[in-house]
A and B are shown apart, each in its own frame.
Chain A
Amino acid sequence: MEEPSKFERYVYKNDSVYHYMKISLVLENGNKYITDAQFKQLITCGLKDLYGEVGASFPFDLLKFDQNELTGILRVYNSGLVKLWSALTLLGSYQNEACAFRVMQVSPFLLALSGNSRELQFGDQLTL
């Protein structure tokens, strides 16, 4: 049995290397069949259109993708957050069909994406 430990306290400010985004793709004519690779490629194209090859040359991860709901969780370095978010905002079409990305939640902590109190809905409430 280890010895009980002494009290320690550390405060980390802006120490999270990544930001995490929960996003959803909305298509004008209803859901299409889109694979995870196509989803990521769509975002990469959007980034290149806005910032060029060099400007878009930062990595981001598609941590999770739900094919039915067309929702995904992205992980990006802090320095790329604004560029990625702006590219998502301005992305308007997929295969000549109008579309829009909705950014549902952004956080420096992935854990925070699993507990969004704005999702607490009851019966006859309007969905957000």
Chain B
Amino acid sequence: MSPELEKCPRSLLVCEKSNFLNEKSRHDIHVSKHNFNYKISVLIPECGILPANISSVIHSFSPYYLVRDLPVYQLLEETFLEPLVKKGNFYALSYNTKIDEDNAIALLSSGQLILSLDKDTYEQLGLEGRPSLYNHKKAMRFVVTLDLTDKSLTPGTKRYQRVLSSLKDRLPLRYDFLFTKYNTGSDEDQTLNKLLSQYSYEEHKPAFSQHTLKNMPCPTLYPSDIQGKTLSCDPHHFLEWLGAVNLDISCENAADSFLSTYVCPEPQSSVSQALLCTVTGFISPENVFVLLQELRQYFDEPKFTPWISLTVHGFMDSPVSWGATEHGFLKGGENLYNFVCFKNQDYWLHMATGAQDGCPP
């Protein structure tokens, strides 16, 4: 049989181990750089009811907005630039645009506007960009990055006029967008609503759900053994088990079963109950960070479980994964990360990406 048939796309898994109290810990940077988050899931073994503090953090997540048919040049207009883009904490991602087929637009909190364009759109638009890192033989996809906070793109400059006229007159691009803004003060709440009032938009709250799972096997994890050599199970098996829990897949199969031979990885123990809660929508990294801080405090009181887990899934069709690292969709567009928080404030961070992704930071 041809060896070509046995190849498969590349994947990367980065595992970091540190302590939240360590000054040099980069957990805050990893969370803040992952701009676009679709789904969060929290797994708490030996817990039946979601603690009130965690529940209240989740229910106070910022709303997100679906804006229909927004012209891309609007993101450069002064009405958007000053109150939203330059102040930060504002995220925008084109909705229902597939990164491997269509054009995709993203605005990061840092003020960078990323346009991932197919060849025709790129040539018609006439803005300076570079070929995508994930082109095959011919360059079919190009990425234009505009730093809207840069001096050369201040309203009034030649470059600004040129970019604005390309997006407004030469090739007016219009897409549905998802917007979210993390509000640091109560007076900013209405800015976004006022600006959106001229467009067709819907406000949404992230969807929340929770399940209590009973009598399930659970891998044993020791903070000191992240590689799973002696005391813990190995990272791939752990992430596979987390996937099984999230997807309601049975972990109790016989080795000779016709249907499935999947079992919980060793070493394992049995827990009487576990709480799984999920939040889905367009969630800002700031919200994720606040949740992570709250989860760390779970162990302030004695608990039966030695660990809890937080998984965050990125958008498959985002043009970037962490920071401005280009992201693509080959056979899949996964870019997810998972925290395992331990009693002593140690943590593990697993960051997983697919074929068309740079190595997570």
Q: Which residues of A contact B (CB under 8 A)?
A: 1-20, 36-37, 40, 51, 55, 59, 61-65, 73, 75, 78-83, 105-118, 120, 122-123, 125
Contact = CB atoms under 8 A, between A and B. Distances in A.
Shortest Cβ-Cβ A-B pairs, 9 listed: A115-B313, A110-B243, A112-B334, A114-B246, A111-B243, A117-B38, A108-B11, A79-B6, A4-B19
A9 B316 contact: no
A77 B227 CA distance: 21
A87 to B, nearest CB: 11
B345 interface: yes
B168 to A, nearest CB: 27
Nearest to B259: A62
Given A9-B15, A113-B247, A62 B313 contact: no
Contact of A63 (B22, B202, B262, B280): B262
Interface string B1-24: 100111111111111111101101
Contacts of A79: 6, 8
27 contacts: A4-B21, A8-B16, A9-B14, A10-B16, A11-B359, A14-B10, A15-B13, A16-B13, A61-B259, A61-B261, A63-B247, A65-B259, A79-B6, A79-B8, A81-B8, A107-B331, A107-B354, A112-B243, A112-B352, A113-B243, A114-B41, A114-B313, A116-B316, A117-B317, A120-B282, A122-B66, A125-B96
B343 interface: yes
Given A37-B258, A115-B336, A17 B14 contact: no
B14 A10 contact: yes
B317 A118 contact: yes
A106 B317 contact: no
Given A113-B247, A117-B313, A12 B338 contact: no
A20 B18 contact: no
Contacts of B204: 122
A110 B240 contact: yes
B236 interface: yes
Nearest to A78: B8
Interface residues of B, number: 73
Given A1-B344, A5-B346, A59 B243 contact: no
Given A5-B19, A63-B262, A120-B38, A109 B11 contact: yes
A1 B343 contact: yes
B242 interface: yes
A13 B343 CA distance: 30
B11 A9 contact: no
A13 to B, nearest CB: 6
A110 B262 CA distance: 12
Contacts of B317: 117-118
Give the dominant DSSP class at A's interface.
Answer: mixed
A14 to B, nearest CB: 6
A36 B259 contact: yes
A48 B260 CA distance: 19
B332 to A, nearest CB: 4
B258 A14 contact: no
B352 A109 contact: yes
Contacts of A73: 247, 249
Contact of B243 (A10, A109, A117, A118): A109
Contact of A122 (B6, B202, B224): B202
A12 B346 contact: no
A7 B227 contact: no
A114 B243 contact: yes
B352 A111 contact: yes
Interface string B164-206: 0000000000000000000000000000000000000010100
A12 B13 contact: yes
A12 B235 contact: yes
Interface in B91-121: 95-96, 98
Interface centre among B25, B247, B315 (most CB of A within 10 A): B247
